[in-house]
A and B are shown apart, each in its own frame.
Chain A
Amino acid sequence: MSNETTPQADPAPGFHSNPSSNKAASWLTHLLADLGKNGIFIALVVVVVLFTILTDGILLRPQNISNLIVQNGYILVLAVGMVMVIIAGHIDLSVGSVAAFVGACSGVFAVTWGLPWWLSIILSLGIGALVGVWQGFWIAYVGIPAFIVTLAGMLIFRGLALAVLGNANIGSFPAEYRALGNGFLTDLFGEFEYDPFTLGIAGIAILALIVQQVRTRVARSKYGQDVEPMVWFVLKLVLITAAVGSFALALASYKGIPVTLIVLAVLVLIYGIIMNRTIFGRHIYAIGGNRHAAELSGIKTRKVDFYLFVNMGILAALAGLIFTARLNLAGPKAGDGFELEAISAAFIGGAAVTGGVGTIGGAIIGGLIIGVLNNGMSILGIGIEWQQAVKGLVLLFAVAFDVYNKRRSGGH
């Protein structure tokens, strides 16, 4: 079947590009649609530009860019899991405590017991999964609201973290373990001003991105789907290439690619595919959009809920490992307030409070906005008290904007 078979259903103006007269209109439609979709991206650009000006360019110095990733890595890892939980209509308040608990356990494994670093990491992730099984059981199969279960979890796992640590810090992790938090991949081909390995990886990433975009576009037009105008498409690719390229240049001139960034990139790739292209991901959106309708469509909502929290447990564990590795210390205060930053990231990134809406990419950008705010305000020497207040306002306005947008478009 081709796209010629839909003649009776009169398309709204601007949906099919007619020659010449409508070309400008179609252009504008696409531009506006894209701006709407990428509003969060634009917000990030605005925040970056603002703080670049305010800090006289310190924000964009190579060292600072590298720090931005490393300092916010664990929040971004949590944001990936959190946005999925939020899309399904739940919340997880326990991730900070779980991160602390798993960090403490990993200290016992890697330092106290002296297990090999890789075994310690696997065991720690396993503990995260078990935590998820525990919480998922109560939420999915007993039917206790996630807010309550994870509020309890927040207390339980903070307590267990203290118990495991026995009122002491555990420190001095093996170097391989520490790399998770503050390692860099660099100088594999010798020392240069700009690390060729970093640039090479960036080049491959850009190439893969372009190939993927072009393939999607070709497949879509083959199926008669509406695609954006060629000029706009190319322009977008150029912009993306420029952004990734200059980012890579910054990293290459400093220490190279942080291990945390690689972990993050892999997570974003995998979870992006899960959310958009797998049945599990589709079911998460369906459940968040209308749980009753999902159930009556044969979706096993309990199973989906359960695995969502298992997944969140694993990601919280990973965040705990990265944080512990970065500090080279498993301490009782670890993970304090992580849950709030992760939840903020998801909501700033466009997730709906009522569920059903949100993206992995949005949550990552939301997390980056928080990161840039933290970092920029710290450079400016703004006190922690005002940093908190500003972040609170940003969250409030982001959600208010989302609610306003929905009301205007007559959503339900």
Chain B
Amino acid sequence: MTTNILEMRTITKTFPGVKALANVSLSVARGDVHAICGENGAGKSTLMKVLSGVYPHGTYTGDIVFEDEVVEFRDIRDSEAKGIVIIHQELALSPYLSIAENIFLNNEQRGPLGLIDWNKTNLEAAKLLARVGLRETPTTRIMDIGVGKQQLVEIAKALSKRVKLLILDEPTAALNDEDSDHLLNLILHLKGQGITSIIISHKLNEIKKVSDSVTVIRDGRAIETMAKLEVTEDRIIKDMVGRDLEHRYPDHTPNIGEEILRVEDWTAHHPQDVTRVVVNNVNLSVRAGEIVGIAGLMGAGRTEFAMSLFGRRYGSRISGRVFKHGTEIKTRTVSEAIEHGIAYVTEDRKTFGLNLIDDIKRNISMASLGKLTRRGLVNDNEEYKIANEYRTSMNIKAPSVLAKVGKLSGGNQQKVVLSKWIYSDPDVLILDEPTRGIDVGAKYEIYTIINKLAAAGKGVIVISSELPELLGICDRIYTISEGRITGEFPIEEASPELLIKHMTMEKAR
């Protein structure tokens, strides 16, 4: 038996139009905790989905060797049978079932006659809970315990499947410090019991604490793997961002005018857990013709900030003040925000941005039907004409504006969403991850559109976790971490290292 429990060899995975993984090789030593880091969209999750059989054998190229044997997983059950268990960022627990029921879901403890043996279920669950250090009775419902404890239940569930290789996708992203510490200690404890772990994380201090080796992935490629002794924050950051920034972004000559929008002391709480502060005292402003970036990792509160500002579509107990051209405005509903010339392009266009079963024309007009209406009737010919103008000016590739939006590619869908908001004639556009899931060519087009908007005197706020993108297009960048603005940098002063440092800045303990 070799020392490596897992070898992934030259894995390549392509999606229509996007190469998500290119020749990635990864070796994980038996009994190690192996960290994988990279920016959002670098390909970490895709690699883990290949490994766990979410993307079945045949949909990628390359080999997976697990315990000296080439494996070809058809689905996640195959990989679990071999002892590979993945715990996703979004926990897969049923809130109304008990801890024990969740642990043995689809793996029920049966007695004679094939009926579920509840005594055995709860007894075995209690043993597993002891192993992960969770002091709860097995009959407690999942919804009654916090997310930190839920994470432990997931691990107990993995243990019940006799896990050999445990994959944790950003396990501490939603946890508080105490729970994070407990979880990291548990990973080390399991390591003592011979369980190998792969941990995907952004948090560099965490990685340094638990991992034996680190692999950095960028743009679908494995950049390098370093052993514990070689790991430094600087080196990881350099690997994560070090790419050619030239010519991926159109030229942009800022012509910055008066301040358009200013937000003061903006605070929002979690919609259910009202004691949790998600957006913490945010102050920011944007001027005419200016492109302002908000750099933050997933879960840092950037989308929550934007959605709470835009008609209070997120959060509870929202407080703070908004000024437009120096006068205070209210944005309590979406239509109020739109009337004040604010537009918000969501990060999840399929769920929140588009009516996929309707055509391009009606999606573009959705937020501004009033403009097309005379004497109570919508002028659908005018609508067609305007949609066609946007199809040309935004270069939306579709046979006609009557094509259903659900059939367009990601880049073209994004152009439809942008058209919708540009047609609403806003003064300020908040673009949340405007190039997520879009191929490189279309990204360039989106950047060009953003530049044009700024050149037309609009204020643009770009929220992104892709630093090169922000550095390539913005005039000024805020960093956000744990709901707080942790820094503000004019573009001349900003560097990837500086931004990452402030994006991962944690609250003083």
How long is the Cα–Cα vector from A278 to B379 in the complex, in angstroms?
A: 9
CB of B251 closer than 8 Å to a CB of A: no
Interface residues of A in 285-317 (CB under 8 A from B): 285-286, 289-290, 292-300
Contact B313 A296 (CB under 8 A): yes
How long is the Cα–Cα vector from A300 to B311 in the complex, in angstroms?
A: 11
Per-position binary interface string of chain B over residues 174-208, scored 1 when its CB falls under 8 Å from any chain A CB and 0 otherwise: 00000000000000000000000000000000000
**Shortest distance between the CB of B326 and any CB in chain A (Å):** 24
Are A290 and B355 also in contact (CB < 8 A) when A8-B395, A279-B378, A295-B334 are?
yes
CB of B260 closer than 8 Å to a CB of A: no
**Tally of A-B residue pairs with Cβ under 8 A?**
121
CB of A225 closer than 8 Å to a CB of B: yes
Contact B391 A285 (CB under 8 A): no
Are A292 and B352 also in contact (CB < 8 A) when A286-B358, A298-B338, A411-B404 are?
yes
Which of B358, B370, B376, B382 touches A285 (beta carbons < 8 Å)? B358
Contact A411 B335 (CB under 8 A): no
Contact A295 B313 (CB under 8 A): yes
Which of A5, A296, A300 touches B352 (beta carbons < 8 Å)? A296
Are A356 and B395 also in contact (CB < 8 A) when A220-B381, A279-B378, A295-B334 are?
no
CB of A223 closer than 8 Å to a CB of B: yes
Contact A223 B399 (CB under 8 A): no
Interface residues of A in 341-395 (CB under 8 A from B): 352, 356-357
Instruction: Give the number of residues in A that approach B within 8 Å (Cβ atoms).
Output: 43
Contact B399 A278 (CB under 8 A): no
Per-position binary interface string of chain A over residues 1-25, scored 1 when its CB falls under 8 Å from any chain B CB and 0 otherwise: 1010110111110010000000000
CB of A185 closer than 8 Å to a CB of B: no
CB of A412 closer than 8 Å to a CB of B: yes
**Shortest distance between the CB of A12 and any CB in chain B (Å):** 4
How long is the Cα–Cα vector from A219 to B376 in the complex, in angstroms?
A: 19
**Shortest distance between the CB of A17 and any CB in chain B (Å):** 13
CB of B327 closer than 8 Å to a CB of A: no
CB of B266 closer than 8 Å to a CB of A: no
What residue of chain A has the Cβ atom nearest to residue B385's Cβ? A223
Are A297 and B381 also in contact (CB < 8 A) when A11-B399, A15-B399, A290-B354 are?
no
How long is the Cα–Cα vector from A280 to B424 in the complex, in angstroms?
A: 18
CB of B256 closer than 8 Å to a CB of A: no
How long is the Cα–Cα vector from A299 to B369 in the complex, in angstroms?
A: 10
Which of B311, B335, B362, B381 touches A282 (beta carbons < 8 Å)? B362
Which of A1, A278, A294 touches B388 (beta carbons < 8 Å)? A1
Are A279 and B346 also in contact (CB < 8 A) when A1-B389, A285-B358, A298-B367 are?
no
Which of A15, A298, A410 touches B334 (beta carbons < 8 Å)? A298
CB of A273 closer than 8 Å to a CB of B: yes
**Shortest distance between the CB of B165 and any CB in chain A (Å):** 35
How long is the Cα–Cα vector from A337 to B464 in the complex, in angstroms?
A: 55
Among A1, A290, A292, A357: residue with most chain B CB under 10 A = A290
Contact B366 A293 (CB under 8 A): yes
CB of B397 closer than 8 Å to a CB of A: yes
Contact A412 B357 (CB under 8 A): yes
CB of B305 closer than 8 Å to a CB of A: no
CB of A226 closer than 8 Å to a CB of B: yes
Are A277 and B352 also in contact (CB < 8 A) when A1-B385, A297-B420 are?
no
Instruction: Give the number of residues in B that approach A within 8 Å (Cβ atoms).
Output: 48
Contact A411 B357 (CB under 8 A): yes
Among A10, A222, A282, A294: residue with most chain B CB under 10 A = A282
Contact B310 A296 (CB under 8 A): yes
How long is the Cα–Cα vector from A299 to B378 in the complex, in angstroms?
A: 16
Contacts of A11 in B (CB 8 A): 399-400
Contact A273 B377 (CB under 8 A): yes
Are A298 and B352 also in contact (CB < 8 A) when A1-B389, A9-B398, A293-B366 are?
no
Which of A12, A292, A294 touches B351 (beta carbons < 8 Å)? A292
How long is the Cα–Cα vector from A225 to B359 in the complex, in angstroms?
A: 15
CB of B472 closer than 8 Å to a CB of A: no
What residue of chain B has the Cβ atom nearest to residue A219's Cβ? B381
Contacts of B388 in A (CB 8 A): 1, 3, 5-6, 224
Chain A interface mostly helix, strand, loop or mixed? Answer: loop
Which of A5, A225, A279, A292 touches B369 (beta carbons < 8 Å)? A279
Contacts of A352 in B (CB 8 A): 357
Interface residues of B in 318-374 (CB under 8 A from A): 333-335, 337-338, 344, 346, 351-358, 362, 365-367, 369-370, 373
How long is the Cα–Cα vector from A293 to B404 in the complex, in angstroms?
A: 15
CB of B452 closer than 8 Å to a CB of A: no
Contacts of B272 in A (CB 8 A): none
How long is the Cα–Cα vector from A339 to B311 in the complex, in angstroms?
A: 37
Per-position binary interface string of chain B over residues 416-445, scored 1 when its CB falls under 8 Å from any chain A CB and 0 otherwise: 000010000000000000000000000000
Which of B356, B378, B381 touches A289 (beta carbons < 8 Å)? B356
CB of B392 closer than 8 Å to a CB of A: yes
What residue of chain A has the Cβ atom nearest to residue B352's Cβ? A292
Contact B346 A296 (CB under 8 A): yes
Are A297 and B334 also in contact (CB < 8 A) when A11-B400, A410-B407 are?
yes
**Shortest distance between the CB of B350 and any CB in chain A (Å):** 8
Contact B356 A412 (CB under 8 A): yes
What residue of chain B has the Cβ atom nearest to residue A3's Cβ? B388
Contacts of B382 in A (CB 8 A): 223
CB of B396 closer than 8 Å to a CB of A: yes
CB of B489 closer than 8 Å to a CB of A: no
Contact B357 A356 (CB under 8 A): yes
Are A290 and B378 also in contact (CB < 8 A) when A5-B392, A223-B384, A300-B335 are?
no
CB of B144 closer than 8 Å to a CB of A: no
**Shortest distance between the CB of A333 and any CB in chain B (Å):** 40
Contacts of B311 in A (CB 8 A): 296, 298
Contact B392 A298 (CB under 8 A): no
Contacts of A295 in B (CB 8 A): 313, 334
CB of B234 closer than 8 Å to a CB of A: no
Per-position binary interface string of chain B over residues 450-461, scored 1 when its CB falls under 8 Å from any chain A CB and 0 otherwise: 000000000000
**Shortest distance between the CB of B349 and any CB in chain A (Å):** 9
How long is the Cα–Cα vector from A3 to B380 in the complex, in angstroms?
A: 16
Which of B313, B362, B373, B406 touches A412 (beta carbons < 8 Å)? B406
Extra 15 A-B pairs, beta carbons < 8 Å, given A282-B365, A285-B362, A296-B313: A3-B388, A5-B389, A6-B388, A9-B395, A220-B381, A224-B385, A286-B355, A289-B357, A290-B354, A294-B355, A295-B313, A296-B344, A411-B404, A411-B406, A412-B356
The 14 listed contacts between A and B (C-beta, < 8 Å) are A223-B382, A223-B385, A279-B370, A286-B358, A286-B366, A293-B353, A296-B311, A298-B338, A298-B367, A299-B334, A300-B335, A357-B357, A411-B357, A412-B357
B-binding residues in A (CB < 8 A): 1, 3, 5-6, 8-12, 15, 219-220, 222-226, 273, 276-279, 282-283, 285-286, 289-290, 292-300, 352, 356-357, 410-412
A-B pairs, 5 with minimum CB distance:
A289-B355, A12-B399, A298-B335, A297-B367, A223-B381
